[in-house]
Structure 1
Amino acid sequence: MAEIRIRNTNERISGEENVKAFLDKQVVLYEHWNADKLPAHLKENFILSDENKAEILATFDTEIKDLAGRRGYRTWDIIALSEATPNLEELLKKFESVHTHTEDEVRAITAGKGIFVIKGTDDVGYFDVELEAGDVISVPEHKPHFFTLMENRQIVAVRLFIETEGWIAHPFEDPTFSKA
């Protein structure tokens, strides 16, 4: 279940309803899918074949199509990151810069853990959304954020897009942001 850490105060928010209520106020979509329906051989598998990816997409087909229908997403795929990912450090450096997009950035976590760091309202500042299997988040277009892995450095997620070529990151310079 997702948990939030507000960086300015170190306050933590947990529990599905509390997380959802906080993120609603920040205009960030949060949902929870049943990760237990994923076949056992895919639950902690971070090196996926094309067949494995297709099986994950088929497992969550109903949820994906429901979310896509409500939000206008037209295409989706699977991303898997782990120590086995070629150039993992370079990818993380690219991800770990505050940026925006001209469409939502959507992730439905099916295995592992990750963190979205998001710029909230002025009274909140930056906050971390710690995600695990079953958590679904949509960071709206033009909202400064970035994504990184947690200490286990493993994640599998469904990504949904409006534009069929995927999103493009636009750097967001913010002197108030600190990586800590």
Structure 2
Amino acid sequence: MATIRIRNTNERIEGNERVGDFLGSLGVLYEHWDIEKLPDRLREKCQLSAEEQAEILSVFEPEIQSLAERRGYVKWDMVTLSEATPNLEELLKKFEQVHTHTEDEVRAIAAGNGIFIIKGPEEIGYFDVELTAGDVISVPENTPHFFTLREDKQVVAIRLFIDPAGWVAHPFADPAFQK
């Protein structure tokens, strides 16, 4: 279940409905998929073979198709990150830069967890969306944000794209952002 922490006030928003309402008011899509659909052996596993990745995509095919039809996504894949990922720390440093995209950035968490740091309107400022298995988020195009891992440094996420070439990050220099 996702949790939001507003950085300026340290206020926390919890519960799928409250999180969905808050994010929806800012144009960010939030859904929660039933993670119980996955076989037990894949629910907590963050180091996956190509066959296991294909199995997860197959299990969530109806949800992926529904989201793709509603939002215009035409391609999807999976990213897996864990302590076993080569050069994980360098990769995370690259992720942990505020940026924008010319299309939505979508993540459906199948295992592990992660955090989207998103810039809200001035009265809210930056906020963290802490995601766990089953959480799905779509950060709208041109919204300053970045995605990173939590302390355990492991995630399996389905990514959806409008442009079949995938997305390109555009750096967003913001003096208001503080890690």
Question: TM-score surpassing 0.5?
Answer: yes
- The offset of 1:44, in angstroms, is 1.5
- The offset of 1:122, in angstroms, is 1.1
Counterpart of 1:71 in structure 2 is: 71
Partners of 2:36 and 2:151 in 1: how far apart?
22
Q: Secondary structure at the match of 2:77?
A: strand
Partners of 1:62 and 1:145 in 2: how far apart?
28
Per-residue displacement from partner, 1:86-136 (whole Å, max 9, x unpaired)?
Answer: 110111011100000000000000000100000001110000000000000
Partners of 1:150 and 1:35 in 2: how far apart?
19
Counterpart of 1:108 in structure 2 is: 108
Q: Secondary structure at the match of 1:173?
A: coil
Q: What does residue range 110-149 of structure 1 map to in structure 2 within 5 Å? A: 110-149=110-149
Partners of 1:88 and 1:44 in 2: how far apart?
19
Counterpart of 1:164 in structure 2 is: 164
Counterpart of 2:31 in structure 1 is: 31
- The offset of 1:25, in angstroms, is 1.2
Q: Secondary structure at the match of 1:62?
A: helix
Partners of 1:151 and 1:69 in 2: how far apart?
34
Per-residue displacement from partner, 1:153-180 (whole Å, max 9, x unpaired)?
Answer: 110010000111110000000000000x
Partners of 2:45 and 2:28 in 1: how far apart?
28
Q: Secondary structure at the match of 2:141?
A: coil
Give me the identity figure in percent: 68
**Residue type matched to 1:149 in 2?**
L
**Residue type matched to 1:170 in 2?**
H
**Residue type matched to 2:53 in 1?**
K
Structure 1 stretches of at least 4 aligned residues deviating more than 2 Å after TM superposition: none
Corresponding pairs, count:
179
**Residue type matched to 1:134 in 2?**
G
Unaligned runs of 5+ in 2: none
- The offset of 1:38, in angstroms, is 0.8
Unaligned runs of 5+ in 1: none
Partners of 1:94 and 1:136 in 2: how far apart?
22
RMSD: 0.5
Per-residue displacement from partner, 1:12-53 (whole Å, max 9, x unpaired)?
Answer: 000111101100111100000001111111111111111011
